[in-house]
Amino acid sequence: MKFFVDTADVAAIAELNDLGMVDGVTTNPSLILKSGRDIIEVTREICGIVSGPVSAEVVSLKAEDMIAEGRKLAEIAQNIAVKVPLTWDGLKTCKVLTGEGFMVNVTLCFSTNQALLAAKAGATFISPFIGRLDDINLDGLELISDIRQVYDNYGFDTQILAASIRTANHVTQCALIGADVITAPPAVIKGLASHVLTEKGLDQFMQDWAKTGQKII
């Protein structure tokens, strides 16, 4: 399973990339706002750090405007994936841009039928939002499982990019279900290394080592 990092924080991306933990990056208007930087400038810098897909999102609502914005964003670098919302105009945009050879990430997916439409429109990635479904007492992981089954049933090439990842359990279950990609904030990815028994064991080792009075260097 590939790991995308969901941020526009260049320093955080570089740190994870140096460890081999980044296969791509996803951004959105909220993350661009948080970065405090120009979208073209920061996206270009991110594309220079990672070799995998970097999602940059359009901000218009009409297909003709989305298409124009998508073409502009795709000029930034060859690894740009144009991010479009799962609306009818977004699907129209997806069809046009994929036809022109660009990667397209269809975002804000909340149903299997939406995912099916995106695949038929040629989406490179579909982004179902797990955490936001959990917020309204629906099972976000069940949606990932359903999309996986439908895509496998019909041989769709669209990759399932599980988004709105908030917990280590989300990551584990997505891997077990067979999501192609997860995208998560840096803190969630780094948190995967934590376990209470690891910390407890390390603390015991350090106490015992101190009692030996030895040094390695």
Active site residues: 83
Asked if 161 and 182 touch (Cβ cutoff 8 Å), the reply is: yes
C-alpha span between 194 and 192 (Å, rounded): 5
Q: Which two tokens stand for residue 2?
A: 């590939």
Cβ density class 170-193: b for 16+ within 10 Å, e for less: bbebbeebebbbbbbbbebbeeee
Q: Which two tokens stand for residue 108?
A: 């804000």
Q: Which residues pair with 5 in a beta bridge?
A: 25, 184
Amino acid at 77: A
Q: Which residues pair with 84 in a beta bridge?
A: 106
